[in-house]
């Protein structure tokens, strides 16, 4: 293919945030694939761009419209891709188009710009050295629970998106799995007139959101899980000692301690041997776990 696909980041609120390079890319494109033609026309009008062909590409038709975009690229045309706000493919359509175009040999490029996740992260006051982007959580079921538990144990700062009518429920779920005192920033209406950044604990954030349904799209920036202190030797000895004193075999006591404290089974087995020997019992057989086995 000789055509070119250009992913163009657009403002997340303030239309003046459209960069000169982004405006030029939109003006020069033969076709603009956009999430909502009405919103894109408003942006184009604000930037003085007229007479552009628009193709609606959204969550419900991206698979079908990909064929139309590939046909344009096959004719050597330049197609710009925009979402309603922010960077295409970041919790918005565009990723499938980029993958399909790249697979066919078309040139795929990006005009970087606004992204709510990064804007909220840097204004949150939380750690930015390492972070992960979760986007929207599943609305219900076991997959939501699994994702919540993964977020709760992640030491990195986590950025999530949420709709206003689900904000209180999501903050409540986060407080349940992370604990009520985990710090969070709740950011809404970024770059708009009513931009707001709220910082505090998950418990306070939940209470605030339950007072009234907030307006606008929200970005939640959650502090990472605190570092966990490795189990001390006395902790390990206590667990294996209680298990052995209760009549459990050495191997079983070691397995129980390894599971409870998250230590390698070999270390737990050696602790159990040591405790038993100090108690004056008969010697145990050699360690049944290989050094590189599953317990390492």
Q: What radius of gyration, in Å, describes the C-alpha atoms of the chain?
A: 27
Q: Which two tokens stand for residue 136?
A: 């929207």
What is this structure's pTM? 0.76
DSSP structural state of residue 12:
S
The ranges assigned to domains in the chain are: 4-114, 117-222, 229-296
Superfamily of domain 117-222 in the CATH hierarchy: Tetrapyrrole methylase, C-terminal domain (3.30.950.10)
Q: Does domain 4-114 have CATH number 3.30.70.260?
A: no
- Tens-digit pLDDT profile for residues 237-266: 899 999 999 889 999 999 888 888 878 888
Which residues does residue 108 pair with via DSSP β-bridges, in sequence order?
Answer: 5
65-117 pLDDT, tens digit each: 999 999 999 999 999 999 999 999 999 999 999 999 999 999 999 999 999 99
The answer to whether residues 85 and 43 touch, using CB atoms and an 8 Å cutoff, is: no
Higher-pLDDT residue of 216, 195: 195
**pLDDT band at residue 283, thresholds of 50, 70 and 90?**
very low
* 231 close to 262: Cβ distance less than 8 angstroms: yes
Pairing of strands 157-162, 78-82: unpaired
Give the whole-angstrom CA distance, residue 183 versus residue 168: 16
- Look at residue 217 in the predicted model and tell me its pLDDT: 86
The pair of three-digit structure tokens given for residue 52, joined into one six-digit string = 């552009």
**Close Cβ partners of 197 (under 8 Å, ≥ 6 residues apart):** 120, 123, 124, 185, 186, 187
């Amino acid at each position: 293919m000789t055509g070119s696909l250009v992913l163009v980041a657009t403002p997340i609120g303030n239309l003046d945030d459209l960069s000169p390079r982004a405006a030029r890319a939109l003006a020069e494109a033969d076709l603009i694939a956009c999430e909502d033609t009405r919103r894109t026309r408003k942006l184009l009008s604000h930037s003085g761009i007229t007479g552009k062909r628009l193709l609606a590409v959204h969550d419900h038709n991206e698979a079908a419209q990909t064929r139309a975009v590939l046909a344009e690229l096959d004719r050597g045309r330049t197609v710009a891709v925009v979402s309603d706000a922010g960077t295409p493919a970041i919790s918005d359509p565009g990723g499938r188009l980029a993958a399909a175009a790249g697979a066919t040999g078309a040139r795929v490029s990006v005009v970087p710009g606004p992204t709510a996740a990064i804007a909220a992260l840097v204004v949150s006051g939380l750690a930015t050295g390492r972070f992960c982007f979760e986007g929207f959580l599943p609305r219900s079921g076991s997959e939501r629970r699994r994702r919540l538990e993964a977020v709760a144990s992640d030491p990195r700062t986590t950025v999530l998106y949420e709709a206003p009518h689900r904000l209180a429920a999501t903050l409540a779920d986060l407080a349940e799995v992370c604990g009520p005192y985990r710090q969070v920033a709740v950011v809404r209406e970024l770059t708009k007139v009513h931009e707001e950044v709220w910082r505090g604990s998950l418990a306070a954030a939940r209470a605030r959101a339950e007072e009234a349904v907030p307006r606008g799209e929200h970005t939640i920036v959650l502090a990472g899980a605190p570092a966990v202190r490795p189990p001390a030797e006395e902790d390990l000895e206590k667990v294996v000692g209680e298990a052995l004193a209760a009549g459990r075999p050495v191997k079983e006591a070691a397995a129980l301690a390894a599971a409870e404290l998250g230590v390698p089974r070999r270390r737990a087995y050696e602790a159990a041997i040591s405790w038993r020997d100090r108690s004056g019992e008969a010697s145990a057989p050699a360690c049944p776990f290989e050094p590189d086995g599953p317990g390492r």
